[in-house]
Structure 1
Amino acid sequence: MKLRKVSAAAATALVLTLTATACGGDGDSEGGSGSGGGDKIKIGIKYDQPGLGLKEPDGSFSGFDVDVATYVAKELGYEPDQIEFVETKSADRENALARGDVKLIAATYSITDERKEKVDFAGPYLLAHQDLLVKTDSDISEATDLNGKNLCSVTGSTSAQNVKNDFAPKANLKETGGYSECLAGLQSGSVDALTTDDSILAGYAAQAQYKGKFKLAGLKLSNENYGIGVKKGDTETVNKVNAALEKMVKDGAWETAVKDNFGPANYEYEPAPKIGNIVK
């Protein structure tokens, strides 16, 4: 899948706010990152998730999470060149916020009760579902088929543990540092299935080099409510981010971002969720 480096959603955000720069707040008022001053804002994203958060060969960034983060940052008073995207691994997201390494995290960050004990969330801004990615000729069609098979996911993700706890306790779990490593294992045959959110899997399956090689099993094993992580106790920022997300949906930029980033994969996305509405 060839991703657009500057999506329509990001462009829309720029147009909508150019005339409101004077009242949009400046970088100093938002504090930027915990240690970097107020002229920039550091936002945690994934670097290896096509369609969501991807660092391109030329150093630019693309994906739905990137578009959402760019729009939100504009509403907080930051121009695109004031945003510093920081790679944030799944296992380090809570610590990154607590240390002040980043101000926000938009990295397929599912809102859970356990995580809410450590961080605050704005959103949700996308409802995804856990699924399986398998080879096109795989006979795996149900989660229970994974018993005795090699299942891959990312360290710190809830996806693989959900499968082992609820569907396939005898699955052989392999955890890696990134989804790209799982994908390599799936391609080589050392892994039978990759499990994570359908939005992430769709991005991989749609890439040109993998076209026709992989397929989604089409299972909805869980509901994943993506939120934007904020340091625990920073209610002011949570409220501002929620207002930005509501505006993004209302002015159509959210819909544009979904189609720009997931359209090539024919991803059947859910409608934009309402702020604070967590689907169990």
Structure 2
Amino acid sequence: MFRTSLRTRVIGAVALAAALPFAAVACGGDSGGDGDSIVIGTKFDQPGLGMRNPDGTMSGFDVDVATYVAGELGYTPEQIQWKEAPSAQRETLIQNGQVDFIAATYSITDSRKEKVDFAGPYLITGQSLLVRSDSNDINGPADLENNKILCSVSGSTPAQKIKDEFPRVQLQQYDTYSACIEALKNGAVDAVTTDEVILAGYAAQDPGAFKIVGEQFSEERYGIGLKKGDTELRTQINDALLKMEESGAWKEAFDKNLGPAGISAPNPPPLDN
């Protein structure tokens, strides 16, 4: 990764941004080392948001947002190197300079803002619960206090919220949500909690196996994480997000990736100053 090239690149031309594909994005892992690439962190296991497909391509709403932003920074999809960014490692990846920015269902919180900066938000969602389709006794987090086992991911905002507000719930934590989904499928846990858009992606991937229950019980503001103090890059990313929203490309990406899960595109949230 060559951060100096990111600082000096001219904002991409309008024609380039308009031509960016919102289909599966080619993984640019082989283009590194030439001083002309950008490293972006995202999830590799979240269908509809950040997913590495069997053929090596990347797809999802976060991927499309990040690809659009990279285009506005002057990078083609082929110049993107995708790096997996598990929840518990995101701040470390940014602080160590292993990525230029991260778009990975990354909730903006005060504690994280002590370590990294955020552009955005580019999506607002809320925490919810996913259960097996034959489950009838879980309709909210309070129902989990009756000897149920709830799964979430280490280092995630949803896991911390359960610890803080529902301490009597038995919380099982894994490194990835896909591990939680597998545990739910085989009966090792009774429910999975994270943001509703993430749960919807998993439910859509395995029709009939799972269902989302209850109301959202938090507000999560997804932002793009970057190195603390990099005001120039933060401004450039915010400009790109605003352009994506105003051009209709934001809604197009949402509908393509999350529409199949039955979620209607909300209005894009206003960006933080």
Q: TM-score, normalised by structure 1?
A: 0.85
Is structure 2 residue 160 aligned with structure 1 residue 161? yes
Aligned match of 1:82: 79
Aligned match of 2:272: 276
Deviation at 1:19, TM superposition (A): 8.6
Pick aligned residue for 2:134 from 133, 137, 157? 137
Aligned match of 2:228: 232
Hey, what's the Cα distance between the residues in 1 that align with 2:254 and 2:148?
Answer: 33
Aligned match of 2:22: none
Deviation at 1:20, TM superposition (A): 9.6
Aligned match of 2:210: 214
Hey, what's the Cα distance between the residues in 2 that align with 1:179 and 1:15?
Answer: 37
**What one-letter code is carried by the residue in structure 2 that aligns with 1:254?**
W
Hey, what's the Cα distance between the residues in 1 that align with 2:148 and 2:67?
Answer: 40
Structure 1 residues 53-62 or 268-277, which shifts more?
Answer: 268-277
Aligned match of 2:256: 260
Deviation at 1:16, TM superposition (A): 4.1
CA displacement 1:43-69 (0-9 Å, x = unmatched) = 000000000000000000000000000
Quick check: 1:153–1:174 contact (8 Å CA) kept in 2?
A: yes
Within 5 Å, give how 1:1-280 maps onto structure 2: 16-18=14-16, 38-138=35-135, 139-147=137-145, 148-166=147-165, 168-207=166-205, 210-276=206-272
Deviation at 1:163, TM superposition (A): 2.2
CA displacement 1:30-84 (0-9 Å, x = unmatched) = xxxxx95741000000000000000000000000000000000000010111111
Deviation at 1:135, TM superposition (A): 0.9
Hey, what's the Cα distance between the residues in 2 that align with 1:113 and 1:269?
Answer: 27
Q: TM-score, normalised by structure 2?
A: 0.87
Q: Percent identity?
A: 56
Quick check: 1:50–1:204 contact (8 Å CA) kept in 2?
A: yes
Quick check: 1:17–1:74 contact (8 Å CA) kept in 2?
A: no
Hey, what's the Cα distance between the residues in 1 that align with 2:64 and 2:265?
Answer: 16
Secondary structure at the aligned position of 1:211 is classed as coil
- Cα RMSD of the aligned pairs, angstroms, is 1.9
**What one-letter code is carried by the residue in structure 1 that aligns with 2:176?**
G
Quick check: 1:155–1:175 contact (8 Å CA) kept in 2?
A: yes
Deviation at 1:213, TM superposition (A): 1.2
CA displacement 1:209-249 (0-9 Å, x = unmatched) = x2111001142110000000010110000000000000000
Secondary structure at the aligned position of 2:126 is classed as strand
Hey, what's the Cα distance between the residues in 2 that align with 1:18 and 1:242?
Answer: 18
Could you list the runs of 5+ residues in structure 2 that have no partner in the other structure? 1-11, 20-31
Deviation at 1:271, TM superposition (A): 1.5
Aligned match of 1:3: none
Aligned match of 1:31: none
